[in-house]
């Protein structure tokens, strides 16, 4: 009897589409339609679903799908209950699942106002009931996502990617297909318009979960990404969306940022949509390659960008100062450190200590006094550093003791007509500083 009832449902579904335009709201047998709609609805409201089911079947077979939206939406609830009740009867369960999908399709066709909601619910039921057929499940989920796009419920993207990854691991799907699914998921989630903070948090969490799943799946090896995106970029190097995809994908793939494709994609982003973040990213890439000139160029571009605030710029400048010092550009390092502390006084201690360290490490030409005068400047900066940030006092004092050991002797200074307390201007390595003479007593 159950199979007969199921066949009636499926057969009726095929007939509804051709008949509905020639019928009134409740069909040719409107009295029977209204009667069984009333019967099942009363039982349904009372949550007496067992009594509602046979009456719903009657209504479903007699009434056109346009009679009442609840005829179809309630039907999905009743069929789901039947699926759960017959979980151990595989054949009948699969027939019920097919019927459930048919009802969803009718909801989409005859009630387009609720199409997005119906498709989202269909996707969830597909994932719940069709895991035993992953290929069909993935096809169904992908078709739904292509229709609902940014209106897709966030967790459906995760279900789709999870199914795709399983298929990839079973050698039933290639890496490019999985990557495409991931790209679309991130794209549509980025276009989603949350109605409130709860939805916004849900979307953000789903993006994190999708990225985590994608990374741990190891589908996107760096070699795969280079093979996939290399030809695309060469064919369309000015495609901003493509460049962003490359940067995002390679950025989350371990060990995949030290290559020309990644560098070129970031360069495209910075050219077509310049920002302090893309310029800073280029600084990091060139710094990693020890391309000092380009690294400095892009860091200065990041600082010059209007969107970055003073604190951000100060951080950039201090980082640039450290980088320049490590790469022998001492004058640039001191200049950058000075600008950093001017923009953000909170960095004063660190900036002064760096400038003192730079002066203390210089090799200056000239006589004995000219060679050692750098230590007076270095100590000046160390004193400023510990005054600006007491947490640096111990390190600053240690360096002061080291530098003071190289002060000239009083007699030696006298030979060059230099005495304690005298003002003295030091020139070294393209830098100048005015300091005070100090000697060892």
Residue 113 DSSP symbol: G
Q: What's the rounded Cα separation, in Å, for the pair 144 and 155?
A: 13
Tens digits of residue pLDDT in 139-175: 999 999 999 999 999 999 999 999 999 999 999 999 9
Backbone angles phi, psi at 66, to 5 degrees: -90, 0
Q: What is the pLDDT of residues 74-132, one digit of tens each?
A: 999 999 999 999 999 999 999 999 999 999 999 999 999 999 999 999 999 999 999 99
- In whole angstroms, what is the distance from residue 359 CA to residue 382 CA? 10
* Total residues belonging to the chain: 441
CA 335 to chain centre: 35
SS3 sequence of 34-77: HHHHHHHHHHHHCCCHHHHHHHHHHHHHHCCCCCCHHHHHHHHH
pTM above 0.85, yes or no: no
Task: Tell me the pLDDT of the chain averaged across its residues.
Answer: 92
pLDDT digits (tens, 9 = 90+) for 193-222: 999 999 999 999 999 899 889 888 888 888
**Residues 241/191, Cβ–Cβ less than 8 Å:** no
CA dist., res. 264 & res. 240, Å (int): 12
Q: What sign does the dihedral 67-69-71-76 (CA atoms) show?
A: positive
Residues 219, 168 contacting (CB under 8 angstroms): yes
Residue 154 CA to residue 208 CA, distance in Å, equals 11
Encode the chain (441 residues) as per-residue pLDDT tens digits. Answer: 344 344 444 444 444 444 444 457 899 999 999 999 999 999 999 999 999 999 999 999 999 999 999 999 999 999 999 999 999 999 999 999 999 999 999 999 999 999 999 999 999 999 999 999 999 999 999 999 999 999 999 999 999 999 999 999 999 999 999 999 998 999 999 999 999 999 999 999 999 899 889 888 888 888 888 988 999 999 999 999 899 989 988 888 888 989 999 999 999 999 999 999 999 999 999 999 999 999 999 999 999 998 899 999 999 999 999 999 999 999 999 999 999 999 999 999 999 999 999 999 999 999 999 999 999 999 999 999 999 999 999 999 999 999 999 999 999 999 999 999 999 999 999 999 999 999 987
The continuous run of DSSP H or E covering 278 comes out as helix 276-288
- What residue has token string 């951000």? 312
């Amino acid at each position: 009897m159950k199979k007969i009832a199921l066949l009636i449902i499926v057969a009726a579904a095929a007939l509804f589409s051709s008949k509905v335009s020639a019928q009134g709201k409740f069909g040719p047998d409107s009295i029977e339609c209204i009667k069984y709609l009333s019967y099942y609805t009363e039982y349904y409201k009372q949550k007496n679903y067992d009594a509602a089911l046979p009456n719903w079947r009657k209504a479903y077979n007699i009434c056109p799908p346009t009679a009442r939206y609840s005829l179809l939406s309630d039907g999905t609830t009743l069929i789901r209950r039947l699926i759960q009740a017959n979980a151990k009867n595989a054949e009948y369960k699969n027939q019920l699942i097919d019927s459930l999908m048919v009802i969803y399709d009718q909801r989409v066709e005859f009630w387009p106002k609720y199409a997005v909601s119906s498709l989202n619910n269909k996707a969830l039921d597909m994932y719940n009931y069709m895991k035993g057929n992953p290929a069909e499940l993935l096809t169904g989920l992908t078709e739904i996502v292509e229709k609902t796009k940014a209106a897709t419920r966030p967790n459906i993207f995760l279900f789709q990617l999870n199914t795709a990854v399983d298929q990839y691991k079973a050698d039933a799907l290639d890496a490019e297909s999985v990557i495409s699914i991931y790209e679309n998921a991130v794209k549509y989630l980025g276009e989603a318009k949350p109605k409130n903070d709860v939805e916004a948090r849900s979307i953000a969490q789903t993006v994190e979960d999708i990225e985590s799943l994608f990374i741990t799946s190891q589908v996107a090896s760096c070699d795969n990404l280079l093979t996939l995106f290399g030809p695309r970029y060469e064919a369309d190097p000015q495609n901003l969306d493509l460049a962003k995809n490359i940067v995002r994908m390679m950025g989350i793939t371990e060990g995949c940022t030290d290559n020309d494709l990644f560098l070129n994609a970031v360069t495209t982003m910075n050219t077509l949509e310049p920002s302090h973040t893309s310029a800073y990213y280029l600084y990091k890439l060139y710094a990693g390659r020890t391309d000092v000139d380009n690294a400095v160029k892009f860091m200065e571009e990041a600082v010059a960008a209007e969107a970055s605030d003073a604190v951000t710029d100060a951080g950039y400048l201090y980082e640039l100062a450290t980088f320049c010092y490590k790469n022998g550009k001492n004058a640039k390092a001191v200049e950058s450190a000075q600008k950093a502390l001017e923009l953000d006084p909170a960095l004063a201690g660190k900036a002064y200590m760096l400038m003192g360290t730079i002066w203390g490490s210089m090799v200056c030409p000239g006589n004995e006094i000219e060679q050692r005068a750098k230590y007076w400047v270095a100590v000046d900066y160390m004193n400023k550093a510990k005054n600006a940030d007491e947490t640096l006092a111990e390190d600053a004092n240690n360096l002061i003791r080291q530098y003071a050991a190289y002060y000239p002797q009083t007699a030696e200074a006298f030979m060059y007509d230099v005495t304690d307390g005298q003002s003295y201007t030091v020139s070294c390595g393209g830098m100048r500083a005015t300091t005070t003479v100090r000697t060892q007593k």
